[in-house]
Amino acid sequence: MTSRLNPYLSFAGDAREAMEFYRDVFGGRLDMSTFGEFGAPDEALADKIMHSRLETPGGFTLMGSDLPPSMEYRPGTTISISLSGDDADELRGYWSRLSEGGSVLTQLEKQMWGDEFGMCVDRFGVQWLVDIGQSQG
């Protein structure tokens, strides 16, 4: 898979409803995973959306999730840019350049779902999510 860049929306507990709404608007396939599916110990998070992706017939990709209670929800700042794929060298290079001079919120490292993932804010205040999937080869 080649690397992809797309918007990633954050929600205050209503990600499922919002992503289903966007599916109804744009059509396509919606995949959602909950925090509970990945073993989150907090029962209040079990049914909340940890990650969702809408792939539309028109070629749009929209991703989103509910913010965990430890992260502040601030309307107007609820979008990140997601870089994802399985070309680890390319994505680590992007990560290195994007995080330089900015702040790292989550180190780029293996996560409970199996991918390498990191989150940073670049020096211009833009939040980036980098996810390196496992090669399917």
pTM of the model: 0.69
The confidence score (pLDDT) of residue 75 equals: 74
Place of tokens 């289903």: 20
In this predicted structure, what is the pLDDT of residue 28?
95
Q: What is the pLDDT of residue 115?
A: 94
Structure tokens at 131: 């996810």
- Specify the CATH number of the domain 4-132: 3.10.180.10
82/4 Cα distance (integer angstroms): 8
pLDDT at 135 over 90: no
The pLDDT-based confidence of 124 (bands split at 50, 70, 90) is: confident
pLDDT at 136 over 70: no
| Domain limits, the chain | 4-132
pLDDT digits (tens, 9 = 90+) for 52-66: 999 989 888 999 999
pLDDT at 77 (0 to 100): 75
Is it the case that residue 95 has pLDDT exceeding 90?
A: yes
Q: Looking at residue 110, what is its pLDDT? A: 95
- Res 39: pLDDT: 85
Q: Which amino acid is at 74?
A: R
